[in-house]
Chains A and B, each alone.
Chain A
Amino acid sequence: MSTFLTRRRFLIGGTLGASALTLSGCDLLDQNADIANVLRSAEELTMKAQRLLQGRDALAREFDEKDISPSFRVNGTSAPDSEEYAELLEGKFANWRLKIDGLVDRPREFSLADLKALSSRTQITRHDCVEGWSAIGKWTGVPLASLLGLTGLKPTARYVVLHCADELEKTLDGSGRYYESIDLIDAVHPQTILAYQMNGQDLSVGHGAPLRLRVERQLGYKQAKYIMRIELVDSFAGLWGGNGGYWEDRGYEWYAGI
C-alpha cells in the first residue's frame, strides 16, 4: 500500500510538475542561450534536408495567368523614406544604378535600361510570407546568374548580399536598413531573378521599385526590395547584426525554406 501511494504521489507530482514547468518555464527557456542554440541547430538540419531533397535545380511551381492573386499584399516597407530614393523615383529611376562589387573580378554598374536589355525570364510564382499568407504574381527580370557571369566571381565568394534602399526600422546607427543574403546555390538557381516587372508592369514602389529579388524556394522576407547594391562576400559576419539579413538579425532563420 505504501509503495502504491508513493508511486501515486510520484505520478501526480510528475504530471503536475511537468505541465507547470512547461507553461511557466517556456519564456525563461526561450531566453536561455544554450537552449536557443539547440533550437537553432534544427535550422541547419532543415536546410541540409531540404537541399538534399531538392538538388540544385528543382524548380518552384510556376502557375498560369488565371492563377494570379487579384490583389498582392504590400508588405514590409511600402515606400522607402529617404531623399535619395525620392529623387530616384522622381527621375523614374533614370539615375539609378545597380552596383555589383565585393569579391567579383569586374565590379560593374547597371542602369535599369542595361538590365532590361539583357535576356529576361518571366515566371508566375507563389510568394509565401513567414506569417502564413500567400499571393501569386508574375515576375519578369534578369537571372542573377547572368549578371554574376558578367562580373565574374572570385574563388572566395560565398554569399550574395543585397543592400536595399529602405530602412524598416529607424535607428541612429543605420542598422534598421534592409538587407538580405543568399548563398551561391540559390544565386545561380534558374528562377533566381532580379525582377523589374510585376504582373506585366514596372515594379510599383510598394513592391520594390526599381528592382527586387525573387528567390522562389524561400519565404517572403528573402525577396529583398529596392535593391541598390549587390556585394559578394565570403562571410556576412561583419554586416550589421552579423546574421545575413534584416530579419535574421531579429531572430528569424537565415535559411527560409520553411
Chain B
Amino acid sequence: MICSHHVQQMKDVEMSAEVSNDNIHHPRTVFIRRHSIVTRLTHWLNVLCLSFLLLSGLQIFNAHPELYWGHYGANGDPAVLTIGSEDDAGTPSGFLRVAGVQIPTTGVLGVSNVDGEQTARAFPSWSTIPSFQDLAAGRRWHFSFAWLFVINGILYLGFSLLSGHFRRDLAPMAHELSPRHLGREILDHARLRFPKGEEAKHYNALQKLTYLAVIVVLLPLMVLTGLTMSPGVDAALPALVDIFGGRQSARTIHFITASALVLFVIVHVAMVVLSGTWNNIRSMITGRYAIHEEGPNA
C-alpha cells in the first residue's frame, strides 16, 4: 500500500529476545516510508513546472512592468506597483514603486547588467526565460508548463483525495489548532527544535497548515488568476472576472500569489536544510525517511 504513514518499519536494529519488555527501548533508527510514489513524482514535476513558470512569468511581466487594480490599466492609469528606470544625468537608475513609495533598486530591478552594460529592464536577465527580451518565447514556455502544471496538479489532487492522503496526513486534528499548541510549535520552530521520534512520523500542525495553504489556496489561485487574464476564458467563464474584480486585479493577484509562493519555497528549502537535509531529500526521492528513536532515559 502506498501511503506515507502506514509505517513500514525497516529496522536497522533488531531487538534482542531478552529485551522483551515493551516499555524499554534502546536508541535505534527506524525507516518509515514517508512519501508515496505519486506524491514524490508530482512534487518534482511541480518543482520543474513552477521553476519554468516563474522565470517565464518574469519575462512576460517585463513586457509591461506595472500592475493595476480593476478591469483596465495601462500607461498613465494609477498603478499599484511599478518597476521602472530613470535617467539621472546620463546614469540609468532602477526603482521599485509600491503604493507610492519608491525604492532604488539599480542593479537588480529596473536597471541591470546585460552583456556588461547597465540596461533598462524590469527583472534582470538571469531571472528570465529566455534571458534576453522575448515576450513571444516567454509566453510559449509559460503556457506549455502551465498545461503540465495543471495536469500534474489534477493527478495529485485526485490521488490525494482518493487515497486519503489529505484526510490522514494533511488535515490538522482539532487539538493541533488550539492557540496553545500552535504557539508552542511556533516557538519550537523559531528555536529550530524539530519533532523527534514518534512525533516526527507525522507532519506537525504548522506543516499541515502551510502545505494546505499552498495546495488548496495559492496554487489554485495562480491557475484561476492566470485564466482570468485570458480574454477567451473570460468570455466562457465570466464569473472569474467578477471573483477577482477585473483582469488587471487578477494580474496583480497573480503576481502577489507568485511572490507568496517564492517566499514559501525559500522557507521550505530552509526548513529542509535545517531539519536534516539528506534525510528530507531522500524521503522525497526514494520515500525512505529515517527516525531516531531514543532510549528510555533520554
Q: Count residues of chain B with CB under 8 A from any CB of chain A.
A: 50
Of all chain A residues, which has the CB nearest B61?
Answer: A132
Contact A38 B144 (CB under 8 A): yes
| 27 A–B pairs (Cβ distance < 8 Å), ordered by A | A27-B130, A36-B140, A38-B144, A42-B140, A45-B147, A46-B143, A53-B236, A53-B237, A58-B236, A63-B71, A67-B72, A73-B76, A128-B231, A131-B64, A133-B64, A133-B66, A133-B75, A133-B248, A134-B72, A135-B74, A136-B72, A216-B231, A247-B136, A253-B136, A253-B140, A257-B232, A258-B233
CA distance A69 to B71 in the complex (A): 9
Interface residues as binary, A125-144 with B (CB distance below 8 Å gives 1, 0 otherwise): 01011111111100000000
Any A CB within 8 A of the CB of B135? yes
Listed stretches B7-15, B31-39, B200-208, B278-286; interface member: B278-286
Any B CB within 8 A of the CB of A94? no
B131 partner residues in chain A, CB cutoff 8 A: 26-27
B176 to chain A, nearest CB (A): 31
CA distance A22 to B232 in the complex (A): 31
Contact A258 B72 (CB under 8 A): no
Contact A69 B74 (CB under 8 A): yes
Those of B230-289 within 8 Å (CB) of chain A:
230-238, 241, 247-248, 251, 278, 281-282, 285
Contact A219 B231 (CB under 8 A): yes
Any B CB within 8 A of the CB of A33? no
Those of A6-60 within 8 Å (CB) of chain B:
7-8, 11, 15, 22-23, 26-27, 30, 36, 38-43, 45-46, 50, 53-55, 58-60
Contact A250 B72 (CB under 8 A): no
Contact A217 B232 (CB under 8 A): yes
B251 to chain A, nearest CB (A): 6
Those of B133-156 within 8 Å (CB) of chain A:
134-137, 139-141, 143-144, 146-147
A60 partner residues in chain B, CB cutoff 8 A: 231, 234-235
Any A CB within 8 A of the CB of B60? yes
Those of B40-64 within 8 Å (CB) of chain A:
51-52, 55, 60-61, 63-64
Would A11 and B278 be within 8 Å (CB), given that A60-B234, A216-B231, A219-B231 are in contact? Answer: yes
Any A CB within 8 A of the CB of B188? no
Contact A11 B235 (CB under 8 A): no
Of all chain B residues, which has the CB nearest A71?
Answer: B76
A91 partner residues in chain B, CB cutoff 8 A: none
B169 to chain A, nearest CB (A): 24
A131 partner residues in chain B, CB cutoff 8 A: 63-64, 135
Any A CB within 8 A of the CB of B77? yes
Those of A98-129 within 8 Å (CB) of chain B:
126, 128-129
A43 partner residues in chain B, CB cutoff 8 A: 140, 143
Of all chain B residues, which has the CB nearest A11?
Answer: B281
